[in-house]
Structure 1
Amino acid sequence: MKEFGSATATITQYRQQAVSLLLYQAVLEDSVGQTFLALLEALNTSKGATNERTRCLSAYSHWFQALASTGKSWGDHLLGRLLVDDNAFTQAVQAQPLTELPAPLLEAAQHDLAILQGLYDLSPSYISQCVQTACQLSQAPVIWSIGSSTFSIDLPLDWSENLQPLVDHYKQQGTGQFGQFYGFRWQQGQLHGISNPDPVTLEDLAGYEGPKTSLIKNTEFLLAGFNALNVLLYGSRGSGKSSLVKALLNKYGPQGLRLIEVTKAELYELPKIIEYLSPQPQKFIIFVDDLSFEEDDDAFKALKVVLEGGLTRSPQNVVVYATSNRRHLVREFFADRPRPSDADELKSWDTVQEKLSFSDRFGLTLTFEATDQTTYLEIIHHLAQQNNIDLPSNELEFRAKQWATRHNGRSGRSARQFIDFLAADLALEQRP
């Protein structure tokens, strides 16, 4: 009984500390945190009565199930929530040096971090033993305990003593949704995080080394804080323009790069998007895929304002990367050409020129020419090696040429489709 009393006193201390958080309350506001607090409450009030034992066991099962649904350990989950928490302290350290923060804000952060470190170190096996004692069980409940930490951040032995590692993390990775996701989609006036972005990497993409190198260099300018250029990736369909932009995110996301996908229908909100992104410490690529415009298109006007700039200085942390199959992004008709007529616009050739020169407003235009057979086969061999396809070179090339003839022609997209089909076909052949 003395042992149970000691455990109860410790649980009471954890419970009081958890509810006394000043800044990081949201860390415990998800299902795992709420079921954890409910479990502490049940343990704290349990006196051994049957109904109290039942409530305690039920609280433990809810916490166990909530943890199991995350696929993470208790410590990993808690640390993950801590690293993305959006509060007054984490916002402030992204905007100004730690030494310039008000003393009460620093003290509150240190207070909370000391509590959260104690909860982080709390062993699930200890909780299980407390439940066993409180509920008078013959054996302790199953413990949810898996793996080790998946985070690369190197925290000090005392979190509250040295705040700098956390501050550095918040500055680079951001907080809230910018700390949680690398890729986003803008829909109906809001950012929506993409939990499973396209996993394509730069190493997956063969061919077009010139445009690829230029785009990587421009992106690194952006990350380094220089004036990076808006980029138009123009060329034939299936040449890998979109995949190249997406691959940048998988390489540079950990360095603070974020990708915002904006459809043509949402382009009229570009000024609003940029105003929202400009004060953030991360670097942003606004990605517009398959871009083209009709005459008097509102989206055309919005993008033109962003590319040309206005009275407001263009932010250094935001660029536009757009792909298109058209070199001239605004469709032009023969009827647009100037001809003698009383109804024609005066200086109409100027209007035509404005349409044709719109693509020139991008600081950098990268051209992806149609894939010739040499490049196509180079891509085939590259992808075959990555997918461990062991076929004689002449047979692989013969099948690849047949695929291009019978399906979508020669392109990076066609090569990827062929390799995916071939890999599955060979795998089925090898099954017993």
Structure 2
Amino acid sequence: MPKLDSTAIANIQTLQRQAASLLLYQDVWRNPASQAFLHLLNTLTQVEININHCLQAYGNWFSAIAQTGQTWPDFLIQQILQSENPFTQQAQHQDLATLPLALVKAAQSDLQVLQDIYNCDCQLLAQWVQQVAELPKMPTVWVVEAQAPHFLQQSNNWAKALPDLAQYYRQHGVGLFARFRAFRYSTGQLIGIAVPDPIQLEELAGYDAQREALLKNTEFLLAGYPALHVLLYGSRGSGKSSLVKGLLHRYPDLRLIEVGKSELTHLPEIVERLRSLPQKFIIFVDDLSFEEDDDAFKSLKVVLEGNLTARPQNMVVYATSNRRHLIREFFSDRPRPSNAEEVNAWDTVQEKLSFSDRFGLTLTFESANQDTYLEIVRHLAQLAALDLSWEDIRDRALQWATRHNGRSGRTARQFVDFLQAEIALSSLERG
């Protein structure tokens, strides 16, 4: 039965011991690609090597690492940068010099180990498999274009790069907040959004003053200054939600958390989870409105107004609504002289009507008139580089608004998307 030479076996056994010796960064192995890597090492060092098992192990590892779209060294570095462990968590908030010495030494030891594993590249694994299986040629090696050089890749001694790594954790976060920048809160947990809405602020037109006000407030948040909670109120399709989503692509250090109305009762818990983190967060509540005696209303009110606990400086709420007054009010709610049910009934009415005032900044999005609608269409048509005259686009845009959803930014976007697809399909048919 073929086996590796003694040098190769010794090298693999060293890698196995090193992988098992990690004190803090054990979570780098808690993913399919890393688990497949360890399993492959194990099959290569069996006393009685099963060639089929060895080939299957290599195939499983190849498939797992291919699924990531990265080289093995790049993937391993990503796991280190996203690791959530006692060192990375504390390094977000404290200077390296103030951390327990044992914690720092453990991190340095782990990094030295991981650097050795990093140097075990894909070609070396393929060579070992070829030797064990006595293949006439080496199995296909997983190779893709390497990512942009990272400070760890440029360092000959990862243990000495610990200060730079700690600074990275402070800036970019760890765990879930390092892997994702957009989140959705659902069933009691934050769920990372791998592919957030790609809308860019440059695509939005017609409400420049509102956009500039929102940008300035967001920059206050990112700079660490007091920022205001914002209510974006106005007609449907005016781009309120798109404006908030577009912030994610303008500011790389920003995190956006979407919370549905049904989850607003958990808002105080979300805020407390975010309070101690160094990153800056926008809690995004879309299409906000309340019914009477809604528990979600009370939870949001606590976050907007605060309670005995100090308001966190790393978080604001941005909410959109089609209603200026967020709580539905009926004529029957208004007190009449004959109303004997509540002594101070007008106080209750005023509390409902003034809830939106608890947002520090209210941005109003009025319905688009014809000039605004056409301005948005022209802007989007230029971005799409439509090969039509403006007169033709203008006439068709007006017809589209009449036959479809009226004049709005959303209607303009739908029209330009349709026109772009129509032109592209006609070009294919002619070609």
Q: Same fold (TM over 0.5)?
A: yes
Q: What is the rounded CA distance, in whole Å, between the counterparts of 2:6 and 2:183 in structure 1? A: 50
Q: Distance in 1 between matches of 2:28 and 2:415?
A: 46
Aligned twin of 2:422: 425
Query: Counterparts of 1:3 and 1:91 in 2: how far apart (Å)?
Result: 41
Which of 318, 327, 332 in structure 2 is aligned with 1:330? 327
Q: Report the Cα offset of residue 232 of structure 1.
A: 0.2
Does the 8 Å contact 2:233/2:363 carry over to 1?
yes
2: CA distance, partners of 1:3 / 1:308? 68
**Alpha carbons of structure 1 residues 153 and 291: separation in structure 2 relative to 1, 3 Å:** farther
RMSD: 1.7
String of CA shifts for 1:66-124, please: whole Å, max 9, x gaps: 11222221122111111111001100101211111111111111111112122222221
2:296 maps to 299
Check whether the contact 2:81–2:174 (CA below 8 A) recurs between aligned residues: yes
Q: Which moved more, 1:390-399 or 1:6-15?
A: 6-15
Provide the secondary structure at the position in 2 that maps to 1:7: helix
1:405 shift after superposition: 0.8
User: Among residues 143, 146, 159, which one is paired with 1:145 in the alignment?
Assistant: 143
Q: Note the 1:205-224 alignment, pairs <5 A.
A: 205-224=204-223
Q: Which residue of 1 aligns with 2:186?
A: 187
Give the 3 Å change call, closer, same or farther, for CA 372–217 of structure 1 in structure 2: same
Give the drift of 1:3. 8.1
The answer on whether the counterparts of 1:153 and 1:169 sit within 8 Å (CA) in structure 2 is: no
Cα distance in 2 for partners of 1:95, 1:156 equals: 26
Equivalent residue runs for 1:251-400 within 5 Å: 251-252=250-251, 254-255=252-253, 257-400=254-397
Partner of 2:197: 198
Match in the other structure for 2:408: 411
Q: Which consecutive residues of structure 2, in runs of 5 or more, have no partner in the other structure?
A: none
Structure 1 residue 154, shift from structure 2 partner: 6.3
C-alpha distance in 2, partners of 1:294/1:186?
21
Cα distance in 2 between the residues matched to 1:5 and 1:154: 31
> For residues 118-159 of structure 1, what are the alpha-carbon distances to aligned partners after superposition, in whole Å with 9 as ceiling and x for unaligned?
222222111111111122221111101111115766654122
| CA-CA distance at 1:210 after TM superposition | 0.6
The match for 2:46 is 45
> Which runs of at least 4 in structure 1 moved beyond 4 Å after TM superposition?
150-156
Contact 1:76 1:150 in 2 (8 A): no
Instruction: Report whether the alignment pairs 1:159 with 2:158.
Output: yes
The count of residues paired between Structure 1 and Structure 2 equals 427
Percent of matched pairs sharing the same residue: 56
Residue 238 and residue 213 in structure 1: after superposition, are their counterparts in 2 closer, same or farther (change >3 A)? same
Closer, same or farther in 2 for the Cα pair 1:3/1:348, shift >3 Å?
closer
Contact 1:155 1:165 (C-alpha < 8 Å) held by counterparts? no
TM-score when scaled to structure 1?
A: 0.95
Distance 1:344 1:299 in 2: 25
Distance 1:150 1:373, change over 3 A: farther
Distance (whole Å) between structure 1 residues aligned to residue 59 and residue 390 of structure 2: 57
Correspondence for 2:23: 22
Match of 1:174 in 2: 173
Preserved contact between residue 205 and residue 376 of structure 2 (Cα < 8 Å): yes
Structure 2 residue identity aligned to 1:138: P
2:336 alignment partner, SS class: coil
Residue-by-residue CA offset, 1:5-49 (whole Å, 9 max, x unaligned): 222222222222111111111101211111111111122236xx6
Q: Structure 2 CA distance, aligned partners of 1:408 and 1:349? A: 39
Match of 1:86 in 2: 84
Q: Which sits farther off after the overlay, 84-93 or 371-380?
A: 371-380
Contact 1:338 1:344 in 2 (8 A): no
1:116 aligns with 2:117: no
Decide whether the 8 Å contact of 1:156 with 1:162 is kept in 2: no
The alpha carbon displacement at 1:4 in A equals 2.4
1:244/1:224 CA distance change after superposition, 3 Å: same
